[in-house]
Amino acid sequence: MIPERHVKLFKNGRNQAVQIPHEFELPGEDAIMRKEGTRLIIEPTQPKSLLTVLSTLRPLDEEFSPIPELPVDSVEW
C-alpha cells in the first residue's frame, strides 16, 4: 500500500484543484469523483466496451467496389 502524502490545494479558475503525485497517478484520461462524508474519493473509470466505442463512430459515406464471388473448392473426406 502506498503511504499517504500531504498535498497542496490550489484554485484553477472557479474550481479547486489538487496535483496528484506520480505514485497516485490514475490510468486513462477520465475519473469518477464522489464524496462520502468528509472523504473525497477519486477512482479511475472502467474502460469502455468495444460496442460503446463503435456506437460513437460516424457511418462511412463511400461506396466500396463489389467483392467477386470466388468458387468454393469441394473438400473430399
State residue 43's pLDDT score: 94
Per-residue confidence of the chain (77 residues) as pLDDT tens digits? 678 889 999 999 999 999 999 999 998 888 999 999 999 999 999 877 888 888 888 888 888 888 888 887 766 66
Domain assignment present for 67: no
**Structural domain for 21, as ranges:** 9-54
Sequence-distant (6+) residues with CB within 8 A of 4 are none
Domain assignment present for 16: yes
Q: What is the pTM of this model?
A: 0.54
Nearest Cα residue to 18 out of 5, 29, 30, 27:
5
State residue 71's pLDDT score: 80
Domain assignment present for 22: yes
Domain assignment present for 63: no
State residue 10's pLDDT score: 94
Domain assignment present for 62: no
Domain assignment present for 60: no
Task: Give the integer Cα–Cα distance in Å for 26 and 44.
Answer: 6
Domain assignment present for 64: no
